[in-house]
Amino acid sequence: MIDVQNLTKRYGEVTAVRGISFTASPGQVTGFLGPNGAGKTTTMRILTGFTPPTSGTAKVAGYDVFDQSMEVRKRVGYLPENVPLYRDMTARGYLMYLGEIRGVRNLRRKADEVLERVGLANRAESRIRTLSKGMRQRVGLAQALLHDPEVLILDEPTIGLDPYQVLELRALVRELGRDHTLLFSTHILSEAEQVCDRVVIINQGQIVAQGSPAELRQELERGGRVLVRVDAPPASVVPVLQGLPGAGSVDVQFDNVVVTPSSPDIDPRPEIARAIVQQGWNLIELRPVAVNLEEIFLELTRQEAAQTDDAQAYATETETAAS
Amino acid sequence: MRAIFAVFKREVGLYFRSPIAYAIAFALLLFLGVLFNGYVVQANSRFPADPTFAPSLLTFLTFLIAPLLTMRLLAEESREGTLEVLMTLPMNESAFIIGKFLAAWFYYTMLLLVSAIYYLILTQIGVPDQGAAFGAYFGAWLYGGAVLAVSMIWSAITEDQVVAAFLGAATILVLYLADVAAIWIAGQGTTSSATADFVRELGLPAHYDATLARGIVRAEDILYFVFMMIGALFITTRIVETRRWRA
């Protein structure tokens, strides 16, 4: 369980994280999604007790990250960005070292177990220097798993891996998410969509949206654009649809017609279906234009930019659009 | 304690596998050996051989040895980013820093013990002053701990090992030259001799060459070295902590 309330982190003049609040539940993969420099790493460093927050609170596994830092650290497994490792140590030696500091019981057996779990059992005695990037990433993950933590925090674990390794790692993250509270950051949208049960989108240190990928999609699809396919030339379809109440603009995309409703609250589909049937055409397809996380993300971060540029103008604009 | 020991064990292992540590040991023993040989020949049947020769020389050379032994300790962890993992383990910064310091001191102690061979040689060819020998070796041990702790501060401040070594050497030399500064201040005759004495007492030679190395074991000298170690380790801990707050 991770519970973040109004967390803020300032570095002198720069505010990296501005009053964010979110929770991550056990048995779920929570994706922390945002462009580079959005404040993901800073937030994770606060959650792992590496750096203290400027204000606000964060509880990890029921303990405050600042006041009960040692308790938090005992219960968190952390894979930092870029996976810093001792290159001269063997994979097992590295785990033994960290395990000794942590006071892990049955350390030798435990180290072999996690190496097995991340698929490195056959490279246990190899020096980390000689391991590939993907293998190093897995040593880092093994280190995070060594003490059976309740909470796992992984900072961009798939960065710099080849596509095959990325797939493997995503599968492992999903699997680990079942019995851990797992917070995982990424700037790759499709990755968040595939791996996460919940997504928290962060931009410029603020949370711009959170929910399951499906919820986020629904939110943006509601009153969104509708794609229409009819077995008639689009040129003759457009005027008909333009005449419908609630149809804002009608565009042609290849053989399809895309209708954007005049207000996001209007679902134009019933009207469109009726009109087409009345014309005696065959309706082949009528569906919302698929919105993926990428579009949601771009949409939200664009809104964010608009707000910071000129919040007033943006507010007026949306009001006008809604009425 | 467990964490201190784990860090200590790893760092000692690194010293015994590091070419730099062996190079230091080799250069030091060669240097001591050559000078010792010359000294014994010179002393031969004219004056009694001084058993404090080797440890005193060793303490002088710490301005080169200590920075080389400590430069890596924190600078490397900080540059490689491995500090981030360690600082999210359930371990205090102080445990980590004490473990590293003890490892450096342990390696230094090994060097000091090897140099005890010169004392053994002297016992074969003459009758060295045992009190002076004890004071000199015990003092050299404390002296080493103090300068290692001081030069370790620089390893926490900078991520660049060369810079850390250079500044460490400079700091130790300043502490070593306090004696010279005191003489200069006294020579000016403008201030009271108390100022000169104060400066002298801040330096290393006043607490080693003038006392321990002559077999005079005084509590104040022991406390000087012990406080220097504790103070330097405390400063190092605070520096690492501050770096973390800014991270």
Residues 63-122 of B with CB under 8 A from A: 80-91
What are the phi and psi torsion angles at A202 (to 5°)? -125, 140
Per-residue pLDDT tens over the stretch A99-137: 999 999 999 999 999 999 888 899 999 999 999 888 899
Looking at residue A313, its pLDDT comes to: 44
Task: Give one DSSP letter per residue of A271-318, joined into a string.
Answer: HHHHHHHHTT--EEEEEEPP--HHHHHHHHHHHHHHHHHHHHHHHHHH
Looking at residue A30, its pLDDT comes to: 93
CA of B83 vs chain A CAs: smallest distance (Å): 8
CA of A73 vs chain B CAs: smallest distance (Å): 5
Looking at residue A234, its pLDDT comes to: 82
Residues of chain A positioned with their CB less than 8 A from the CB of B85: 78, 80, 84, 98, 143
Q: What sign does the dihedral A98-B86-A160-A9 (CA atoms) show?
A: positive
Residues of chain A positioned with their CB less than 8 A from the CB of B91: 101-102
Query: In chain A, what are the domains?
Result: 2-212 (3.40.50.300), 225-288 (3.30.70.100)
Q: Do B89 and A101 touch (CB under 8 A)?
A: yes
- Provide the domain count of chain B: 1
Interface test with B, best of A60, A101, A147 (most B CBs within 10 A): A101
Q: Looking at A183-192, A311-320, B39-48, B58-67, which range is the least confident one?
A: A311-320
> What residue numbers bound the domain in which B26 lies?
2-246
pLDDT surpasses 90 at B95? yes
Give the residues of chain A that fall short of pLDDT 50.
309-323
Per-residue pLDDT tens over the stretch A179-231: 999 999 988 777 888 889 999 988 888 888 888 888 877 766 655 678 888 88
Looking at residue A227, its pLDDT comes to: 82
What are the phi and psi torsion angles at B115 (to 5°)? -70, -10
Residues of chain A positioned with their CB less than 8 A from the CB of B245: 51-52
Residue with tokens 């980390």: A128
Per-residue pLDDT tens over the stretch B185-235: 888 877 778 888 888 899 999 999 888 888 888 999 999 999 999 999 999
Q: Do B82 and A97 touch (CB under 8 A)?
A: no
Q: Where are the alpha helices (DSSP H) in B44-160?
A: 53-80, 82-86, 93-115, 117-125, 130-157
Looking at residue A64, its pLDDT comes to: 94
Integer Cα distance of B183 and B178 in angstroms: 9
Angle between helices A269-278 and A234-242 (to 10 degrees): 120
Burial track B21-58 (b if 16+ CB lie within 10 A, e otherwise): beebbeebeeebeeebeebbeebeeeeebbbbbbbbbb
Q: Which helix (H) or strand (E) holds B30?
A: helix B19-43
Which residue on chain B is closest to A153 by alpha carbon? B88
Looking at residue B247, its pLDDT comes to: 65
Where residue B112 falls among pLDDT bands split at 50, 70, 90?
very high
Q: Do B85 and A73 touch (CB under 8 A)?
A: no
